[in-house]
Chain A
Amino acid sequence: MEAWSTAAEIAEAVAQGRTSAIAVTEAALARIKERDGVLNAFTAVTAERALAKARAVDAARAAGRPLGPLAGVPIAVKNLFDVAGLPTLAGSKINRTRAAATVDAPLITRLESAGAVLLGALNMGEYAYDFTGENVHDGPSRNPHDTGRMTGGSSGGSGGSVAGGLVPIALGSDTNGSIRVPSSFCGLFGLKPTYGRLTRARTFPFVASLDHLGPLARSARDLALAYDAMQGPDAEDPVCTTRLPEPALPTLDKGIGGLRIAVAGGYFERGAGPEVIQAMSLVSQELKANDIIELPEVARARAAAFVITTSEGGALHLDRLRTRAGDFDPATRDRLIAGAMVPASLVTKAQKFRRWYRAQVLQLFERYDAILAPATPMTAPKLGQQTMMLDGAEVPLRANIGIYTQPISFIGLPVVCVPLPLRPLPIGVQIIAAPWREDIALRIAHHLEGAQVAQAPRPPL
């Protein structure tokens, strides 16, 4: 197997005995050693654990026991997931003094039950309050397509590790765009499932109202493989659905026949750079999506997501702001302090607006099965970049990277971000489906990949 093999290819090769899990794992560890000095995607490499797990997969095969659909597939997780033996950093300095986790997060357990091999924990923006993938404590994760550029955040190491060919699948979290933004900047497929679909137990939270977990990969099939393995109820996360798993793999190859697909216009066209316009045009042409629709009050939705985020984030970190303010990235600290001071009356209004907006948007899904929207207003910015041009005006970069993702996660809609392999840098398009219809978004993503419109480009490493 080589660096760019998909998870599906690796699992098949391991199952057929064309390679072994130990060989795949050793090769992945060697790639991390070779490339991660530059990419800075990993904050911990769990080599011994990985080798032990790989040996167990190979032993199972030798004994004739059935192998899971991810047999021998290397994976890595954003460092806000509990990994037994590691403190759960969530990108912070403060959490370094926490006791090591004693048990893995259930999503890791579920992937490993399917045969996956955990290689380590990944760099991320501090406490996930970030769209850049930069981190003052660990250094920035670097974009494999241009190591002078951002991976996007906050799941920066998740983007860098998969785009850089270190692992085929990584897990991230997405509160306002933190899976979709790195997928866009790094040229990857990313799935932000429906709010409540995947358990968030034993992961470090950010905004309880908006936090989601999900996979990033180099193919839609790999997203579906990981997603199907992770579904299922979990009493440990009160938000996690009690619906039974609804696997997406069985319908992945069903094509797009009969699907009604619209393009989100208005708000989603304003501020779009030339790459965004090109990407949207390529995708909508392939999908014959001719209807342009407007999401109602979408700017207010983005504003409400912003307010709920900063307020819940401020509340989460209040004790640490009281006692360890000097140990935060100053930029995160000041956002969180301000967040803790937003009047509660305004936050409650935002939560009321959220229910209204949800009802309005759900009406659109009576007419359409999926809605297309850009993922980011630009391709990967340079590391350290502070401002960007939007609608002809120079505006702060950080706050505007998520303008297209925030109004969607705000009401928990499932989204697959697909990569357009534009030159010199890739960019993503969001395929947005109705709640609980991840299968439709994945089908469309898989179709676009088959048509070679969406592809995860290989960087010149």
Chain B
Amino acid sequence: MSEIDDKALEAYIKAAAAALGVPIEDAWMPSIRANLAVSVRLANIVADFELPDESEPAPVFEA
């Protein structure tokens, strides 16, 4: 997956903040963006690893 640019990430953060109901101040944006950029980069490194559709997530629920 391609790297997301700062502008697109800021737009995503603003939309996500509205969806989650988390008010964020402009001054926080650079730090939130930097943190999310790292998380998305790392998450995509994981997601790029091919696993079969049938693979189960780690947590197991017992009814």
Contacts and interface: CB of A to CB of B under 8 A. Distances in A.
Mostly, the A contact residues are: helix
A10 to B, nearest CB: 40
Nearest to B20: A340
B57 A355 contact: yes
B55 A352 contact: yes
A197 B39 CA distance: 29
Interface residues of A, number: 40
B38 A399 contact: yes
A347 B21 CA distance: 21
B22 A322 contact: yes
Interface residues of B, number: 31
Contact of B45 (A299, A318, A333, A337): A299
Contacts of A307: 39, 42-43, 46
A325 interface: yes
Contacts of B13: 338, 341
B2 interface: no
A358 B55 CA distance: 13
Nearest to B31: A334
B39 A354 contact: no
Interface of B: 12-13, 16-17, 20-24, 28, 31-33, 35-36, 38-40, 42-47, 49, 51, 55-59
Interface of A: 209, 297, 299-300, 303-304, 306-307, 310-311, 318, 321-322, 325, 330-331, 333-335, 337-343, 345-356, 358, 399
Given A325-B24, A334-B35, 16 more contacts: A307-B43, A310-B39, A322-B21, A325-B22, A334-B28, A338-B13, A340-B22, A342-B43, A346-B40, A346-B47, A347-B43, A349-B47, A349-B51, A355-B57, A356-B55, A358-B58
6 contacts: A322-B20, A322-B23, A342-B40, A346-B40, A352-B51, A352-B55
